Amino acid sequence: TQLLEQSPQFLSIQEGENLTVYCNSSSVFSSLQWYRQEPGEGPVLLVTVVTGGEVKKLKRLTFQFGDARKDSSLHITAAQPGDTGLYLCAGEGNTGKLIFGQGTTLQVKP
C-alpha cells in the first residue's frame, strides 16, 4: 500500500515568517500534487510536479519534487494570514489512483 506522510500536521506561525511542509513516502509516484483547502470548502489544486527534481514557484510558494519522486516539499516565504488553511499533498500511485496525505493545518497569525 502506498502512503504519503505529511509533516508537520499542525503549524502556527506569525505573519512574515517562512515555513516548509514535507510530504514523504517510501514509494515512487509518477506525479505529485499540492492542494489548499479552506474551512467549509473543497481542496483547490495549487500545482502538479511530474519530473524528479522539478521546482515550481507560485508567487511566495515554492514546490519541489524529490529526485527519486518519493517526496516533495512546499516552502512559503513571508507567510500571510491569507495562507491559512489545510495543505494536502497527493501522489498519483502505480494503480492510477490519487493518494492523499493526511494534511498540514497552517495558521498564520497577523
Partner 1 sequence: ETGVTQTPRHLVMGMTNKKSLKCEQHLGHNAMYWYKQSAKKPLELMFVYSLEERVENNSVPSRFSPECPNSSHLFLHLHTLQPEDSALYLCASSARQLGNGGYTFGSGTRLTVV
73 counts as binding partner 1 under rule CB under 8 A: no
Q: Whole-angstrom Cα distance, residue 4 to residue 47?
A: 17
Q: Whole-angstrom Cα distance, residue 32 to residue 24?
A: 11
Do the Cβ atoms of 49 and 56 come closer than 8 Å? yes
**Is 66 or 101 the residue whose CB approaches partner 1 more closely?**
101
Of 11-19, 37-45, 60-68, 71-79: span binding partner 1 (CB under 8 A): 37-45
Among 25, 71, 83, 101, binds partner 1 (CB under 8 A): 101
27 counts as binding partner 1 under rule CB under 8 A: no
Task: Give Rg (Cα) of the chain.
Answer: 13
98 counts as binding partner 1 under rule CB under 8 A: yes
User: At its nearest, how many Å lie between partner 1 and the CB of residue 101?
Assistant: 6
User: At its nearest, how many Å lie between partner 1 and the CB of residue 7?
Assistant: 14
Buried b (16+ CB within 10 A) or exposed e, 68-101: ebbbbbbbbeebeeebbbbbbbbbbbeeeeebbb
List residues binding partner 1 (CB under 8 A): 4, 30-31, 33, 35, 40-45, 48, 50, 88, 90, 92, 96-98, 100-103
